[in-house]
Amino acid sequence: MSISKSTTRGRRKKDTIELTEAEWEILKVVWEKEPCAAGTVQEALAQSKDWAYATVKSTMDRMVEKGFLEITRIRNLQLFRSCLSQVQARRSELRKLLARAFNGALTPLVQFLLEHEGLSKEEAAGLRRFVKKTAGKKQ
């Protein structure tokens, strides 16, 4: 009784990440549970999304083609792993937001958040500590 194991990787360019809302939802589960089967992802999303197994599986297969996920096959079991880290995905989304809404500049985004979204006293204090900590590292 032998176990056959093969891995399939997608063809994503490293700097091009365009995730749909559905892909984000699936990646969140994969990051938490990887390696995992499509059924595991569908079950994890059952409370928040009314997606059939076939919908989840076909979306995950497309994500493999895009290079966002990889599949490890063990006999007839397919286990999915992410090819993207949470940092890579978040960075891509942030860059897209910055380019679209703030001409690529970070300072106007932070100013906008402070002026229009507000911070609690605890959040403001935490942000000040973080800025001091990171400013010290860059000098």
Domain range list for the chain: 5-86, 105-139
Query: pLDDT grade, residue 32 (50/70/90)?
Result: very high
- Asked whether the beta carbons of 65 and 10 are under 8 A apart, the reply is yes
CATH architecture of 5-86: Orthogonal Bundle (1.10)
Angle formed by the axes of helices 38-45 and 53-66, nearest 10°? 120
pLDDT over 90 at 1, yes or no? no
The mean pLDDT value for 25-37 works out to 97
Average pLDDT, stretch 80-95? 95
Cα→Cα distances 122→109, 128, 130, Å? 20, 10, 12
Q: How confident is the model at residue 127 (pLDDT cuts 50, 70, 90)?
A: confident
Contact status, residue 35 vs residue 77, Cβ threshold 8 Å: no
Task: Write out pLDDT tens, residues 39-57.
Answer: 999 999 999 999 999 999 9
Predicted local distance difference test score (pLDDT) of residue 137: 75
Supply 105's token pair.
């500049």
Q: Considering the entire predicted model, what is its pTM?
A: 0.77
